[in-house]
Chains A and B, each alone.
Chain A
């Protein structure tokens, strides 16, 4: 099985930087996704990492360390609209290559 852990809730201030961590314990690792889900809406794709390192995409960056079973999503210049749930999902070869999701981190951005 897989064990994926993320903080349940985080708060941050508009304009600040926040880092959302995701740790996992799995075998046959084959990639990690981050999705954003606003309340009452569909999850939407943010990033995919399969190699170690940092992938930058505008205000959002995602980092992966396969040896440590660790990823983070970095959000810069936070805006109120970034208040959402952030879902970490791990893909393994033993899971038919279908992502297994963590519980998600609810991020609240306040003025």
Chain B
């Protein structure tokens, strides 16, 4: 257990559906991240929040919409996704954002399949 939980663990959705991924960290961290992990590709950074403020949006399509209501929770709202969006979506947190030596703690991920 890393102290970061994600729900659901698996999700199958159609292209017209709307769903949300949830991430919760129990570590008292101030920074939270969404990553996309596809087969044979590097982890792709999607969004970064620091103290509930979005500080990074890595050219992610608008069909992905993040929300950070407080420093412990992070959501990723999904709508009108494409089959190529099928991937493992990982949430991570770190104590702070700046400094470069902050270890990230990852959740187990949500395995998403878009039909």
The verdict on A44 contacting B40 (CB below 8 Å), with A96-B55, A97-B100 known, is no
The stretch of B14-22, B77-85, B101-109 in contact with A is: B101-109
How far in angstroms is the closest Cβ of chain A from B1?
Answer: 9
**B4, B104, B105, most chain A CB atoms within 10 A:** B104
Q: Is A96 within 8 A of B56, CB to CB?
A: yes
A44 touches B106 (CB 8 A): yes
> In the complex the two chains form, is A101's CB within 8 Å of B90's CB?
no
**Which of A30, A42, A44 is close to B100, meaning CB atoms less than 8 Å apart?**
A30
Q: Which residue of B lies closest to A46 (CB)?
A: B103
Q: Give min CB distance, B86 to chain A, whole Å.
A: 16
Min Cβ gap A95→B in Å is 9
Task: Find out whether the CB atom of B48 lies under 8 angstroms from the CB atom of A96.
Answer: yes
Q: Which residues of A contact B97 (CB under 8 A)?
A: 96-98
Name, among A8, A30, A43, the residue most crowded by chain B CB atoms within 10 Å (CB to CB): A43
**Which residue from chain A places its CB closest to the CB of B103 in the assembled complex?**
A45
Q: Pick the contact of A43 from B40, B45, B106 — CB < 8 Å?
A: B106
Q: Given A43-B90, A96-B56, A101 and B100 touching (CB < 8 A)?
A: no
12 contacts between A and B (CB under 8 A): A31-B101, A35-B106, A40-B108, A42-B105, A42-B106, A48-B103, A50-B101, A96-B97, A97-B97, A98-B56, A100-B42, A103-B41
Residues on B lying within 8 angstroms of A by beta carbon are 2, 4, 33, 40-43, 45, 48, 55-56, 90, 97-109
Seed contacts A50-B100, A91-B101; 5 additional CB < 8 Å A-B pairs: A4-B42, A31-B100, A40-B108, A42-B4, A97-B100
